[in-house]
Amino acid sequence: MKKAMSPVIATMLLIAIVIVLALIVFLWFRGITEEAVTKFEGTNVKLVCEDVSFDASYSNGEIYIMNTGNVPIYKMRVKSFTNGSHTTETLTENWPVYGLTQGGTYSGGISGTPNKIILIPILIGHSKRGDVTYTCEERFGYEIKI
């Protein structure tokens, strides 16, 4: 009877190892293939960031933004640099509910007295889960030196 237990336990351990390995491979593969977020009839939202165009200025604690392109800007992330450190915030006060459409303007205050500001657009796209926001990379931002 003791000899019969050893093969059963070995078989169960092998099955458990195979299940764990299959789960690890599945989760790893799922992490590689991210869900595509699209905008403008199937264009990947990451590619749309290149088409975003806006002008901005800063004066006396107020920031002014104008959308000069065809891509609506859903929100705007502000990266403020002060004496070697930086803070990041998203403009929410008085920001249009549906974002800045073509020709839309925004003016509002930001906290602190920065030396440099980088404005990074946030777009909204569509996926299988519904509307999803996407923050463009910093290289697509607009830099204001003060």
**Tell me, what's the pLDDT at 3?**
60
Looking at domain 38-145, its CATH architecture is: Sandwich (2.60)
Mean pLDDT of 26-40: 69
pLDDT at 108 over 80: yes
Q: What is the structure's pLDDT at 10?
A: 86
The pLDDT tens digits for 116-127 are 999 999 998 887
Average pLDDT over residues 7-31: 88
Which of 70, 78, 62, 91 shows the shortest CA–CA distance to 117?
78
Whether the CB-CB separation of 37 and 127 falls below 8 Å is answered with: yes
* Tally of CB atoms within 10 A around 139: 9
Residue 78 has pLDDT above 90, yes or no: yes
Query: Is residue 129 left, alpha or beta, with left meaning phi > 0 and alpha meaning psi from -120 to 50?
Result: alpha
Number of DSSP helices (H) and strands (E) in the chain, helices first: 2, 10
Say if residue 142 is exposed, middle or buried (CB neighbours under 10 Å; 0-12, 13-18, 19+).
middle
Q: Which parts of 33-74 fold into alpha helices (H)?
A: 45-48
Among 70, 64, 45, 66, which residue's Cα sits nearest to residue 54?
66
Q: Which amino acid, one-letter code, is at 24?
A: I
> Tokens 């920001």 correspond to what residue?
95
Residue pair 117/146 in contact by the 8 Å Cβ criterion = yes
Per-residue model confidence as pLDDT tens digits over 91-106? 888 888 889 999 999 9
131 has a pLDDT exceeding 80: yes
Among the ranges given (18-22, 38-42, 110-114), the one the predictor scored with the smallest mean pLDDT:
38-42
